[in-house]
Amino acid sequence: MPITIAPTPNPNAMKFSVGQAVGGPGTVVKGAETDVEFAAALTAVDGVASVFFTGDFVTISKTADGTWDAITPEATAILEAHFSD
């Protein structure tokens, strides 16, 4: 299933629906240690401040200087690789 991306009421956060269970609920902030592989990869992306995951979606929050144009393609590739059927 393709990743679908939707804005949230917070302009610094975007919802990435993956179509299958992601675990959680959990939150990982940049620089924190985690056993959640996809969350560690996402927080390593430049401009990502934190990752929240639950149900079938992941919400990524960006830093003030992060841009969605830079974050979205990398985040989508990470999620597609991790949640491919």
Instruction: Tell me whether residue 12 is in a domain.
Output: yes
The residue-averaged pLDDT of 50-70 equals: 97
Q: Which domain holds residue 75?
A: 4-80
In a domain, 49, yes or no: yes
Is the pLDDT reported for residue 24 higher than 70?
A: yes
Considering the domain boundaries, does residue 62 fall inside one?
Answer: yes
Residue 85 lies in a domain: no
- Alpha carbons 33 and 21: distance in angstroms, whole number: 22
The answer to whether residue 13 sits within a structural domain is yes
The CATH number of the domain holding residue 62 is: 3.30.1370.70
Report how far apart, in Å, the C-alpha atoms of 41 and of each of 10, 12, 30, 64, 75 are: 22, 19, 10, 20, 9
d(CA 76, CA 73): 5
Domain total for the chain?
Answer: 1
pLDDT band at 85 (very low <50, low <70, confident <90, very high): low
Enter the pTM of the model. 0.95
